[in-house]
Amino acid sequence: MAKIQLTAETRSPNRKKPGFALLKVTGWPHNPDQTQMAIQRSEDEKHLGADGEWEPIPVWQSLENMVVSDEGVFVGDVGPTLVDPIVNAPNNSYRVTLKSGSDTETRTMKIDGAVLASSASGSAPDSTSFAKGFILNDFEDVLPPDNKIETHIETPVVVQQEQEEKKPEPGNTVHERPKPITTSFFSRNKSMGIILSVLLLLGFALGAAWFYKWLPFAGQNNTDESSIMDQNLSDLQLLQQFMETQPTTEAILAKSEEWLQTKNCEAMLRLLVHSGYKSDDARIALTYAKLYDPNLFHEGNCIDKSDKDTAIYWYQKAVEAGSSDATELLENVK
């Protein structure tokens, strides 16, 4: 029987501060790198996501960064992404489900009273540092230490040396008349001025053509550059950058289809869940429900297997938002 505990201990000295804790898993027979975990609160039965927000469906987090002690206990440091949502709602109880293949087990998490939220330190954490999952790597950045180290910067001494005036050599001195200063570049070289003006006008024309996409290759180059950049970003980074644009429903649906084709599965699924939960547009909920509908399920669509209950939940949400298509699909899946 598994036991899950959150204590104020930490494996790293730099993390012995509010917002950090040690997660212990005892009595689980599988390896951490083969185990996933989902946390659910009792208040509304929502699940904790990797960004610290509560979601209506399970959000599975890998335990691969946890270390196995000699006694077979999994231990791993967790940061404000996990600690703050739990400690800030002490009246809730939290159920943790462990999953490895077809083997699952759900237990209530025991929380040490000494675990404090990051707000107890008087400063807000940089949440982006803890957005890749619950379990922190040993080398992952943490908040700066509370103890400030004073540094003394020595001010360089500037030695000013007097410059000796050059004395004229004895003899006859030739006084040259100063050359006249040209007041205009074009007056000195008219042909160069004309060429420069033409190049400047040509640059403006090309810039306008690129901006308004008059050139047939402008859009293609933008697409290629965007694709190359996307390949270098994680799914969560892609999602964060896209959400910063405050996308419309049409943009959300188009981006989810694009990520489905490029197999950015985590970004696609989280985009639909976040948007479907916060938006009143039935199309988002309907799109997400279809992915899990046993009657419409297709392998390779970022979903391992169909899920009737998930499909029903999101069909019902789409029906509440006024979708007639969802009503029919809901009847077929029940």
Q: What is the CA radius of gyration of the chain?
A: 31
Question: pLDDT tens digits for 68-86?
Answer: 988 889 999 999 989 999 9
pLDDT at position 125:
52
pLDDT at position 229:
44
pLDDT at position 237:
83
Looking only at the bridges linking them, the beta strands covering 110-111 and 3-7 are parallel
Based on the domain organization, do 21 and 75 belong to the same domain?
yes
Question: pLDDT tens digits for 38-56?
Answer: 999 988 888 998 888 888 8
CA dist 167 → 160, 161, 171, 318 (Å):
21, 18, 12, 93
Provide the residue range defining the domain that includes 198.
192-232
pTM for the model stands at 0.46
- The residue type of 42 is S
Residue 136 lies in a domain: no
User: In the beta sheet, which residues pair with residue 111?
Assistant: 6
pLDDT at position 48:
92
Based on the domain organization, do 304 and 204 belong to the same domain?
no
- Residue that terminates a domain, selected from 182, 205, 232: 232
> Helix H segments across 149-217?
185-188, 190-211
Distance (Å, whole) CA 32 – CA 300 = 26
Residue 161 lies in a domain: no
- Identify whether the C-beta of residue 67 lies closer than 8 Å to the C-beta of residue 75: yes
Based on the domain organization, do 202 and 87 belong to the same domain?
no
Diameter over CA atoms, the chain: 113
Phi, psi of 220 (to 5 degrees): -65, -40
Count of domains forming the chain: 3
Burial class (CB in 10 A: 0-12, 13-18, 19+), 316: middle
Question: pLDDT tens digits for 298-310?
Answer: 887 888 888 888 8
CA dist 262 → 121, 144, 332 (Å):
42, 38, 30
Mean pLDDT by 10 residues, the chain (334 residues): 89 86 93 92 86 86 89 90 87 88 90 84 50 70 43 42 48 48 47 69 64 43 43 74 90 94 89 83 92 89 86 90 92 88
Burial class (CB in 10 A: 0-12, 13-18, 19+), 101: exposed
pLDDT at position 278:
77
| Closest to 288 in 3D by CA, of 261, 248, 257 | 257
Residue 140 lies in a domain: no
HSE on the CB side for 41, CA within 13 Å? 20
pLDDT at position 207:
64
- Residue that terminates a domain, selected from 171, 204, 232: 232
Residue 209 lies in a domain: yes
| Tokens of residue 12, six digits | 């790293």
pLDDT at position 287:
94
- Residue that terminates a domain, selected from 212, 232, 252: 232
CATH code of residue 55: 2.60.40
- The residue type of 254 is A
| Tokens of residue 100, six digits | 């490895």
